[in-house]
Amino acid sequence: MGSDEPLIPKHGGYRKLKSFQLGQLIYDITVRFCERYVDRRSRTCDQMVQAARSGVQNIAEGSQASGTSKKTELKLTNVARASLEELRLDYEDFLRQRGLPLLPPNHPALVRFKARRCATVEEVRVWVEDEQGRTRTSRDRRGGGDASSVLVRGDRVPSVGSSTLVANAVLSLLNLCCHLLDRQLAAQAQAFETEGGFTERLYRIRSQKRRRG
C-alpha cells in the first residue's frame, strides 16, 4: 500500500453501478406489475414489491458502507442478491400457477426485448405494446380467428399476453442483475482478502505515521 492511503477511501457511487440501475428498473416494473396483475390485498403483492425494493436498497447501502466496512458491503450485497433471487421465484411462480409460459431466452419477443436495452418502465411498456401489435397484425393477415400463435420469419410461435411478456422480461433482467451481483460479490471478497477492512487500514496508516515521526 502507498504512503498516501486514505483512512476512508472513495465509496458510494452506486448510481453508476449497472446492477443498481437494473435493480431500480426491476423495482419500478414490479410495482407496476403488482398493481395490474397481482391482488393488492394478497401477501404475494407486498412480498414481491418488498423483495424488489430490498434488492435496490441493499446495493446502495452496501456501496455506501464500503468506505468503513468491507464486511458490511459484502453482507448487504449478498442480501440484495438473495432478495432478487426470491423475486425471481415469485415471477416464476406467477407464470407456473396460471399456466403461462416461461419463455426461452431465444424466444423472438425476448430477443427483441434484450436488443432494446430498456432503461425505463415506459420503454418496457412500449415494447409490450409493440409485441401485442405484432400479434394483432399477424392475426389480421390470417383473416382473424385464434391468436394463439403468430408467424415470425416463416416460423409459427405462440403469441403471449401482456402479463406473460412483462413477467418474462423481468426474469430476463433478473438473470442479468443477479449475474452482475455475483461478479460484484466475487470482486468484493477478493478485495477484502487482499486489502482487509477498516481495522487493517487504520493500523497501516497509524504504523506509517509512527515510522515517519
What CATH number has the domain bearing residue 79? Answer: 1.20.1440.60
Please write the tens of the pLDDT for every residue from 128-184.
Answer: 999 999 876 655 454 444 444 444 344 444 556 999 999 999 999 999 999 999 999
Tell whether 93 is covered by a domain.
yes
Tell whether 119 is covered by a domain.
no
Q: Which residues pair with 151 in a beta bridge?
A: 156
Tell whether 83 is covered by a domain.
yes
Task: Name the domain count of the chain.
Answer: 1
Amino acid symbol at 131: E
Tell whether 112 is covered by a domain.
no
Contact between residue 76 and residue 58 where contact means Cβ atoms under 8 Å apart? yes
Tell whether 166 is covered by a domain.
no
The Cα 23–Cα 55 span in angstroms is: 6
Tell whether 59 is covered by a domain.
yes
Tell whether 137 is covered by a domain.
no
Amino acid symbol at 5: E
Please write the tens of the pLDDT for every residue from 79-103.
Answer: 999 999 999 999 999 999 999 999 9
pTM score of the predicted model: 0.78
Domain ranges, residue 38: 14-101+174-212
pLDDT at 71 (0 to 100):
84
The DSSP bridge pattern shows strands 155-158 and 149-152 to be antiparallel
The Cα 116–Cα 124 span in angstroms is: 9
Tell whether 199 is covered by a domain.
yes
